[in-house]
Amino acid sequence: MSNAKGTLIVISGPSGVGKGTVVDMLLKRLPDAVLSVSCTTRAPREGEREGKNYFFISKETFLKMIDEGGFLEYSNHFENYYGTPRFFVEQKLAENKDVILEIDVDGAQHIRDEFPEALLLMITPPSREELVRRLKMRGTEDEVLIEKRLQRADYELSRSKFYDYTIINDDLEETVGRILKIIENRRNGIK
C-alpha cells in the first residue's frame, strides 16, 4: 500500500498498561513507521538502553533544549522531565514516514494543537486490578512509586475523551490488531 503522507500517531495510557509492549509489536508490523525516542531526565530502568528507550539526559541539558526550541512538546511529572525531540519527528514526517509518539496526556494535547491531523490513541487497562498486577509484574518500581503512578493513572484515564480512539488492552494480539486497523483506515481516509 502506498503511504502518501506520514501520520503522527500518539499513544498514551497509564504506566504499566502495556504501551511499550504494544508499540514494539506495531513497529514490527508497520515497515513505514518509526518511533520517536524521547528525552528524559529520569534514571534508566534495568534493561533500558540509551537511544532505544530514551535519551537519558541531565536536567541542565533538558532545560537548555527547551530554551532552544528543541522539543515539539514536553511535560514534567514524577519530578522528571520528558520531551519529544522536534527535529527527528519533523524530518521523518517530511520523508512520509508514520511517526509514533508514546507520550502522556499533557504532551498529547500539545501535539493536537500543533498537528490537528494527528491520530490520538488512548490505551486503557481491562481493570484497575489488572493495571496494578502489570505494574508489579514489571518489577521496576517500589511501592511508593507504584502508588504515585496509580494516582497519575486516574488523571490520564480521565482525559480519554480527548482522544480519537480508546483501546482496552486486554488481549495483546487483539489490541495490536485493532490499532493496525485504525491506522489503515486513517491512511485510506476512513474516519
List residues near ligand 5GP by CB under 6 A. 15, 38, 42, 73-75, 82-84, 102-104, 106-107
Q: Fill in the DSSP letter of residue 34.
A: E
Other C-beta atoms lying within 10 Å of the C-beta of residue 29:
12
Residues 8-37, interacting with ligand ADP (CB under 6 A): 13, 15-21
Binds 169: which of ligand ADP, ligand 5GP, none (CB < 5-8 Å by kind): ligand ADP
Task: Select 44 or 126, whichever has its Cβ closest to ligand 5GP.
Answer: 44
Q: Which strands form 119-124's sheet, in the order they lie side by side?
A: 33-35, 98-102, 8-12, 119-124, 165-168
> Left (φ > 0), alpha (ψ -120 to 50) or beta: where does 149 sit?
alpha
What is the smallest separation between the CB atom of 112 and ligand ADP, expressed in angstroms?
Answer: 20
Task: Select 66 or 188, whichever has its Cβ closest to ligand 5GP.
Answer: 66
What is the smallest separation between the CB atom of 190 and ligand 5GP, expressed in angstroms?
Answer: 27
Task: Evaluate whether 15 touches 135 at the Cβ level (below 8 Å).
Answer: yes
> Left (φ > 0), alpha (ψ -120 to 50) or beta: where does 169 sit?
beta
- Position 94 contacts ligand ADP (CB under 6 A): no
Contact with ligand ADP (CB under 6 A) among 12, 84, 124, 169: 169
What is the smallest separation between the CB atom of 18 and ligand ADP, expressed in angstroms?
Answer: 3
Burial class (CB in 10 A: 0-12, 13-18, 19+), 166: middle
Stretch that binds ligand ADP, among 30-38, 88-96, 131-139, 181-189 (CB under 6 A): 131-139
H helices present in 35-170, as ranges:
59-67, 86-94, 105-114, 128-138, 143-158
- Position 176 contacts ligand ADP (CB under 6 A): no
- Position 40 contacts ligand ADP (CB under 6 A): no
Q: How far is CA 101 from CA 38, 81, 127, 132, in A?
A: 8, 16, 24, 24
What is the smallest separation between the CB atom of 116 and ligand ADP, expressed in angstroms?
Answer: 26
Q: Which residues bind ligand ADP (CB under 6 A)?
A: 13, 15-21, 134, 137-138, 169, 172
